[in-house]
Amino acid sequence: MADQFNKIGFIGLGIMGKPMALNLIKAGHKLAVYDIRPEPVEELVKKGAERCLSPKHVAEISDMVITMLPDSPDVKEVVLGKEGVLKGIQPGTIIVDMSSIAPAVSIEICKKVKEKGVEMIDAPVSGGEPKAIEGTLSIMAGGDLKTFEKVEGVLKAMGSSVVRVGEIGSGNITKLANQIIVALNIAAMSEAMVLAEKAGVDAESVFNAIRGGLAGSTVLNAKMPLILDGNFKPGFRIGLHIKDLKNALETADELSVAVPLTKGIMEIMQTLKADGKAGDDHGGVIRFYEKQAGVEVRKKSREKDYTDLFPENFP
């Protein structure tokens, strides 16, 4: 059931944005959409959305505008640029930026938005493409409580968990914390599985043995099956995770917080980027470890003889 908004503008129909917009349509909301690429716009128009020619055009016909864009400069251009949202927006409209950007940029944009009599929420998401499709994203929001309450119902059409964590910028602080944890989970999983494979123990068997214990996690369950299938099609690209970690490192530096593990996984991802893998899913972090160890962690049916690996244990 649609909420109080007559029309919701949605800008940014990429891997995440397109399924999120589709879920809003399924929930009964009327959408006005814009993307620099015509293909996803056409797909949404076929589902009943209205095509717009610019972010300004979206704002002119919407009373809530959602942005889902790659990085801080993109959000600044779309909201504040010469054909941006603020050029067409009316007082009383609410902007919800669901992009993952630098918290300081969220605060900067919000100050300029408020000068136009417009409210803003930063509400980045976690869950990747599968949960965007399912409408079960985790959404972490920052902004005024009353403004959040107005948009909460809309956000629940895209996510199974919608939590306000504080004032503007706090949504993206929470997302940075999330991205650090996800990256380090993937790194820990990769180290462990490559170690097992190198030792001659089938990684798929290790996965099945530990997934129900304390080492089990959403990351392990989501990424390990894809790795075993050799599927690195991006649900969340390494290049985008590098962007998030860059924002995390800059924020940590501003706050004088030590983040040595984050620096380590950033170096690994940068190495993969240099190898031409920035477009791969972030589960592809395992390929850094595989290259170092000279093994691949893939699904197979076999048992190894350990006597050649550990002869001292087999007298």
Residues forming a β-bridge with 228: none
> Of residues 175, 223, 243, 277, which has the active-site annotation?
175
Tokens of 175: 């997302």
- HSE at residue 295, side-chain half, CA atoms within 13 A, is 19
189/195 Cα distance (integer angstroms):
10
Please say if 26 is a catalytic residue.
no
267/290 Cα distance (integer angstroms):
16
243/100 Cα distance (integer angstroms):
9
Beta-carbon contacts of 247 under 8 Å, excluding residues fewer than 6 positions away, are: 72, 100, 101, 102, 103, 172, 176
Tokens of 78: 């779309």
The amino acid sitting at 183 is A
Q: Is 3 left (phi over 0), alpha (psi -120 to 50) or beta?
A: beta
96/117 Cα distance (integer angstroms):
15
Give residue for tokens 């972030």. 282
Task: Tell me which residues are annotated as active site.
Answer: 175
